[in-house]
Structure formats: structure tokens, C-alpha cells
Amino acid sequence: MISEFLEIPPVELTFLSEPVASPWDSRPLELVTWWEMQQFSAYGFYAIGYFLETLKAECMFKCGAVGDEIPIHEVHKCLDDATAERAIKSLKQGEEICREIGMNITSSTMADVAERIEGKSATYNWFLSELNHLQRLIRKEMSGKFFIYVAPERARFWPTKRQQHVFGEIVYKAFPSTFYDIGQAGVCLAMGCTTACVFHLMRVLETGLRSLGNVFGVSLDHASWGPAILQIESKIRNMHVDPRWNSLPDCKQQQQFYADAASNFGILKDAWRNHTMHARSKYTDDEAQQIFASVKGVMQKLAERLSE
């Protein structure tokens, strides 16, 4: 069985001359698919595992080992030329693979082992020990990378390069300052951080309310939502007697638009904003998704007529 195993042809891989940044490092805060992770490193790990196990099997075979034990008279036997040549070639290939997929400690260790073998002083016993050490080192380096799974139905909330604006282009163009909080709300919702999602959404709404207030000369700089909304609603009710508005041919349509907008803010303030900002509530996933959809709808509607 071992002799048959050793007849497997060596894995030949072609790699770039420079290390390739991992997708999670080169594109921070973007979703990385399982397929992309496999394209980046899966074949590399397969090749490393293959040649380590092949070299171990060859060493054990050449030493006449039984199980994991090398006969005492073979412990200090040096690698034969053919095994040494294969080991050096595989280790240098493995060094390059490890460097490209970010396992720098393992890569450096493989280079050290290859250098020792090139010096013609490596024994089978020592080499087997180093191969086992390399396998443990790979496990340690892999254990230092952590990933969180995002279900496909949640990934739609996460901003991507193709869809950076979760609330749509219209909202981004009208309210560019909300880009960060809308994106973070989507990330939080995708990750299940539902209360944090609502917190960001309330900041988004404040930008919308501030823009609505600017239309009627109501500032939010020194006022909370409640008094500001009351002032805005009062001015909306009097639009029909204000010469600036009454002379407009679409005064009634605009009054209806602004009245609906102010009403929405009043409802959102009582339902969510006050409780969120004063740490009175935690939100379930269903509640956060409902709030997300509601705020998205409000901001898209505001963007039809308002901007910051």
C-alpha cells in the first residue's frame, strides 16, 4: 500500500511571484463567499497536506517503520538523495503556497527545514519530527483566522460593491451623509445585531427630519424631535395661508407630502426613536427588519422632494 501511495505523481502548481492578499484583507467589511475562500486557499491547503503526508509515508517506508516507531538502528540514518531532493522541492513549493495564503510562520519554517536538508545533515527521524511540527503549525495558524457565516437571506442587507446603497441611489444622492449609518444598519441586521441596527436607523431618520425642518425654518440644533415635529406640523397646517406657499400651483400636493412626512416622523419617534436613544428597548430580528423597511420607505419618499 505504501509503495503504491509513493507512486502518486507530485502535485505541480504554478503560483504568482508576489503574495496575494486574502479576500478578507483586501476587501475589508465586504462579504466573502465560500467559493472565493476556496479559490484563494483550498487547493493550496490540499497541496500542502498532500506533500506532507507523502513525505511522511516515504520516510516511514524507507526506515522500515512499524506504526509510528522507527527502528532504533535507523534513527540516525540520513535522508537518501532521492528523498532529500523530493523533500527540498516540496518544501520550497509549500513555502511559496503558505506565503501566498498568509501563513507566514509556516512558510518561514518550511524554508528553514529545506535549508537543513540541503546541508546534508538531516536524518529520517529528525525530518519526520519536523513534518509533524509543520502540520501542527499549520493548524495553529489556521486557528488564528475567524469567520462568521451570514445566511443568504441576510446577505441582502449587507452593502456590496455592486449594491453600495442599501436604501437605493435616490436616498444616497439626496442624503449622502447617511451613507455610513445606512450601511452599518445593513451590516448590523445581517449579523443579527438588531438593536444596533435600529440605533443607526434612528440617526438616518434624524438627517431626514433635519432636512424637513430646513424647509420650514425649524432647526434641530438645539431641539429634540418632539418640539421640532410640533413646529413643523404647525407650519405645514398653515401653508395654505402663507403667501410663499399659497402662490404655488401645487401647494396642496406639497402640503399633503409634507404632512405625511411629518406624521411619519411623529409615529417613528413614539414607536422607536425615544426608546432606542434612551436604552429602554431591545429589538428582535423581526422588529429590526420591520423598522429597517419602514425607515427605508420614509427616506425614499423624502428623497423625492428633499435633500440635505
- Rama region for 64: left / alpha / beta (φ>0; ψ in -120 to 50; rest): left
Q: Residue 253 is inside which H or E element, if any?
A: helix 251-268
Domain ranges (residues) in the chain: 2-143, 152-302
Residues 6+ apart with CB under 8 A from 95: 107, 108, 110, 111, 114
Q: What is the pTM of this model?
A: 0.71
Gap between the terminal Cα atoms of the chain: 74
pLDDT by residue, tens only, the chain of 308 residues: 333 333 434 444 444 445 556 777 777 677 878 887 777 778 788 888 888 999 988 888 887 776 667 777 676 788 889 999 999 999 999 998 888 888 889 999 999 999 999 988 889 889 989 999 999 999 998 888 888 888 888 999 999 888 889 999 999 999 999 999 999 999 999 999 999 999 999 899 999 999 999 998 988 886 777 888 889 999 899 888 888 888 888 888 989 998 988 888 877 776 565 555 555 578 889 989 999 999 999 999 999 999 98
